[in-house]
Structures are given as structure tokens and as C-alpha cells.
Chains A and B, each alone.
Chain A
Amino acid sequence: MRYLSILCLSLFLTSSLWAQSSDETRLKLSLQTDLLAYTTAGGWSTWASAELNRYKLSVAFVNYPNRFPDIYEETGIQENPSWLRIQLSRGFKPTSKLKNFFYGLNVEHHWRELTEDNNPEEILNDTHWELGIFAGYEWRPWQKKENALQHISVIFWAGLNALPTNSEMSRVFENTGSIYDIPGIFRNTIGINLSYTIFQQ
């Protein structure tokens, strides 16, 4: 119930923000991918973003196998998560020196798969929510070009996620007795997104 409450509150916040951002009318739609997702074998990510004035709402899906290689090296247990991320951000005024910076909120639903070496019959699956704040910078190297390059930008962002249900996330492989321990309640997040604007009004 508490997770539903958190989600409802975040959605309420989202709608409130949109309602209060009616002083300008500039819409931009873009597609993105997080390049860091490709740093692991089989990893990928896809994002869709809608930006109205200084507010941007993004929906992303990320697949990131073997997310914690150090744990895998120590335990032989591989975490293969994927997650749906709803990211709400706010930028600064176009006249501000900080106009390329933004900050915001992440709400994520994670699907987690755990596999263990030498125990192929046993695959553990579960889900959890994460909430986070982040800040970022959007770099538009070709914004003054008159060709398609002007639609490309690179977005750097980093933040901190909270795992409200972390204490419920310890799992046991019954065949071997191996334990995947409780993660910390906070987790760093980072991204380097390649963005292409497909519509701008």
C-alpha cells in the first residue's frame, strides 16, 4: 500500500507541474538512448521524451544484464535487471546561464532476474520500485547547424535512487543455499543519453 501511495503522490506531483507550466507553449518530442546501457553484453535502452516549455517527461525502458559484476565475481550470482523509468525534469529559463542544466525526479519499476553459476535450473525473479532525484546537463554541439545534426544532443545526468523495499529483497537459491543479500537503501544512477529531436513546435 505504501508503494502505491508513493506512486500516486508522484503522479499527482507530475500533473500539478504540468498544470502550472502554461506560461509558454513550446513542445518538443525526442527519442533517446542511454549509451551506458550498451557497456554490458546484451544491454540496451530506449527513451521517449516530451518537453513542454521547461518541463520534460520521459519514459524509458532499460535492460542491463550483469549489473553488478563485482558481486558476480564474488558470489557467482548475476543480477539481470530491466526497468521502466518515468523521468520528470525541469530546466532553467532560456535566458539563464544555467539554461542547459536540469534536475528532476525518477520513478522506476524494476524487474529483477537472478541467476547462479552451476545452478541453471533455478532462476529467481522479482520486482521492486525505486525513487530518485537527479541533475543533468544537455549538450547541443550542433544546434546552430541547418541540417539534421541540429536535432542531436548529448545528455549527461546523475542522481541518487532510494529503494524503499530494499529490506525485502534478500533472495535464497534453494538448490545451493546461496544468498543474494539485501541491497543498500540508496543507489547511484547515471546516464549518458544520445537524443534526437523528432518534432519541435
Chain B
Amino acid sequence: MNNITFFTSCLAMLLLGGCIEERVDDALFNSNLANADYWSEEAKILSAGVGFADIIEVDFDEVSRENAIAAGAAWLDDSSCEPENTGVFTQLALAPGVTILYRGNVDYSVLKDGALGLDGQPIVFSWPVLSENVHPEDFKITLNTGEVVFPQFAGMNPNYEYNERNCVVLFGEVCNRLPSSDPAARFPVRVDIVDDGTPLMLIGPNQEIKSAVGMFWETTTSPYDENNGPRLVGAKLNYCGTKAVGEGVAGAAFANSVVPNDEFALYGGGDFRLRILTTGGFSPDGVRGVKPTDFEKYFIIHALGQNGDTVLIDKVGQDFQVLGGSLRVIGLSDLGLAQDSYDECYVEDRDNYIDIILEGDEAAARNITFLEIPSLEGGYSPFYNPGGPGTTPTLGVNYSAPGPRDVEPVIIALDNPMRVSYDGYRYR
């Protein structure tokens, strides 16, 4: 063996070790949690309705206007963003993105009603999930037609940060784009968590671990019904503390894309974080991202006033006098990176969480009562999930509907933070 042969062998050994494809799977499905919120004392499904149809894992060569429209995804003709940054023009997602980030396998042969891609269905739990046991076979989906199906994929993305992980996202063929009143409509009416041999596990108060098997969720509506878009399923107030524990971490594969996006990265901190949990990704139109400066467009915080009345906190940077003192909204976080200014090209994480960061008196914060999304009904902008129409919808295409007005009670978690941490490695 000469020098060259020996050196080549050594190099091959290094490459064998080093060039093994980075295991995104390891980071997303390691069960790790760091200060992840649980949203009630009881483990349950908070929402499980299908979000949108047809636009995921589509087998096209490129993201383009033509392909987006062919798949039924919105395309922003009025966007002034850089053309090569196609992700801000459409929510069309090409193969093999889902195959890489989720567990499961694509099967285009089961697509129906002319669909070119898969449908998205977020399953939101009140407790964080131990992600190592998340598999498509955990979720039995019953359609309004009586058909029983399982999703093709299940995974944690985009709710991958260690202080999130309440929401499992499924992709499969489960719906079409017709409202529930249409006789030809097809959509999930029930989701059951079933035992696939590795039961889906949740973790909550006092590190209690509970199987999700047996939990179910039912509905009679479709996301293509009027005003039946995403809504709130949780609102929870915690101290910001001195650092954003669990934020922005799930592995090197995700570093620097949309994180750090916490209150310390955007505002240097704050006094209180009002975290909201939603039934689906929130977007102004289905395509564009929510900006950290958008509080006034979408949200109103209700608090008790000094005379027992209700004070509506609806402006950023303004002190509101409530019972116990004053409160001021700084802005939104858990979206995307901090920037000097925010425009329509802003890229955010599109997950099921948005944080409202406040400053003020603790006694005042304890008198926050509700978080409201007034939506169109209240004269505000609505939220859409990624199946929304964008601002230049294609004629004749049904897009998922805007969300309704929603008022969610705020859990005051200043004394008991209602959070859990878990080191997945320790229990393997």
C-alpha cells in the first residue's frame, strides 16, 4: 500500500463519518423540551381540524407562478420582493421537503379531486409531545364520507423549538376544497390517537407523562366554510425572565433561518410574554408573514380597569392604566429575525405560536383577562392559514377561509409558569 492509497483510505473514513446526511430527524424527534408550555392541567387535543388542501410535497421541479397556480396555491402577483426568494410569493412546498423534515412516505396515487399535493392538518395538544414517538400511524382520521385514513407524514416542523412542540403537523390526502355544505365535500370529522406500537406520549405538570392514545377530536366543519379559518386555542402570560429558555433551538439544521426571534433578540427583553397558541399557522393572507410590528392590526388585550370596567389594550408603545398599574405592548416576537424595519418580504417561522411582549406593573399584568382577535368582524385584519388566497387570488380557485373573531381567556402563569423541560437522551 503506497502513501496515496493509505491517505485515500483515511480520507474515505473521514467522509464516511462526516458526510452522513445530517439527521434532521434526530433534532426534530429527540423528545427534548426546554420550558415548553402546557396549556391546561388536563392532557387533551385542543384542535385537529384540517387546515388546507393540495399544496404540500408537490412533485414539481421548481417553485414558480405557473406551478403554484397549477397546484392551487396562492401566488402574490403584487409582491415587490426579490423574485428568487420564491418562499415569500407562495406557500407551495415542493418534494422532497416534507420527506426530509417529517416521518412518513409520500404516495401520490391516493390523491383525489385532481390534487397534485398533500393536505395539511395540525393537531394541537394541551401538553407538549415527546416527539420521538410521533408517527403517521398514531393518527386515525375519519372523513365525513365515512372513509378512514392515516396521514402520509407526521412531524414537529414548524413547531420545532424546544419550548414549543405542542403541535404535530400531518400531511396526507384528507380533504378537498369544498365547503361542508357541498354534497361532494370531503374533510376530516374525527381524529383518534391510536396505538401504533409506540404510543404518542405527552408530558405535563410535575413531569407527568401520559399516553395520548384514546384521545379524539371531532368537528362538522371544513376550512373552506366561510370564516372558518385559524383561531386561538391558548393564551398564556409568563414573565420574560432574563433569557428566552428553549427559544431558537432544535439543531444546527435550523440555525439562523428565522431564529433567534425571541423578545431578547427583538427588543432586548421585556417584562411579560403573552404567548398565543393557534389552530394553524397565522398569516395575513395565507402567504405573507406576520411582522413584529403588526400587533395593532390583529390583536386586542382585555384587562380589568380600575373601576371594574374593561380596558382594551390595542396600541403599541402606549401606557394603558389598568387595575394594579400600567401596561404597555412592546411588540410581537417568535416570528422572524430582528430587522431595522419590516416589510412585506419579512420571513417568519409560520408556527402555531406568536408572542406579545409587554412591559409594566406585575399587579396590572395579573388583571389581563382575555386576548381578542377581532378579525374582519371587528374591523381588523383576519388571519389565514397557509391555504389562504394571498392578495391576488386566482379566479375559480377555492382557498381556505379567514379566521373568525375569537376571544381567548388568558392564563396567568406568573406564579406557576406551567412549563416543562425534558431531556430525551436520558430516558432512552
Residues of chain A whose beta carbon lies under 8 Å from any beta carbon of chain B? 2, 6, 9-10, 13, 16-17, 20-21, 90, 92, 103-105, 124, 126, 129-133, 160, 162-168, 170-179, 181-182, 184-186
Contacts and interface: CB of A to CB of B under 8 A. Distances in A.
Contacts of A92: 3
A124 B252 CA distance: 21
Interface in B102-125: none
A176 B22 contact: no
Nearest to A126: B425
B26 A168 contact: yes
Given A170-B251, A172-B32, A6 B17 contact: yes
Contacts of A179: 32, 34, 162, 245-246, 249
Contacts of B250: 170
B33 interface: yes
Contacts of B26: 165, 167-168
B217 interface: no
A23 B3 CA distance: 15
Interface stretch (B8-16, B325-333, B356-364, B399-407): B8-16
Contacts of B11: 133
B245 A162 contact: no
Contact of A162 (B1, B18, B426): B18
A177 B249 contact: no
Contacts of A167: 22-27, 251-253
B426 A168 contact: no
Contact of B35 (A9, A177, A184, A186): A177
A92 B22 CA distance: 36
A75 B308 CA distance: 45
A163 to B, nearest CB: 8
| The 7 residue pairs across chains A and B that have the minimum distance between CB atoms | A162-B18, A131-B17, A162-B17, A167-B26, A177-B35, A177-B245, A177-B34
A13 B17 CA distance: 15
28 contacts: A6-B17, A10-B13, A17-B1, A90-B6, A103-B10, A124-B423, A124-B426, A131-B13, A160-B14, A162-B19, A163-B17, A164-B17, A165-B26, A166-B252, A167-B253, A171-B32, A171-B425, A172-B34, A172-B422, A172-B423, A174-B207, A176-B245, A176-B421, A177-B163, A177-B419, A179-B245, A179-B246, A182-B251
Nearest to B7: A103
B30 interface: yes
Contact of B13 (A13, A21, A172): A13
Given A105-B13, A174-B421, A2 B32 contact: no
Given A133-B11, A182-B252, A172 B17 contact: no
Given A171-B423, A177-B35, A13 B252 contact: no
A163 B252 CA distance: 13
A13 to B, nearest CB: 6
A186 B14 CA distance: 10
A166 B27 CA distance: 10
Nearest to B26: A167
B395 interface: no
Nearest to B18: A162
A172 B24 CA distance: 18
Contacts of B19: 162
B249 A181 contact: yes
Contacts of B252: 166-167, 181-182, 184-185
B162 A172 contact: yes
Contacts of A175: 421
B207 to A, nearest CB: 8
Nearest to B424: A172
Interface string B237-281: 000000001100111110000000000000000000000000000
A185 B22 contact: yes
Given A9-B16, A133-B13, A179-B162, A168 B23 contact: yes
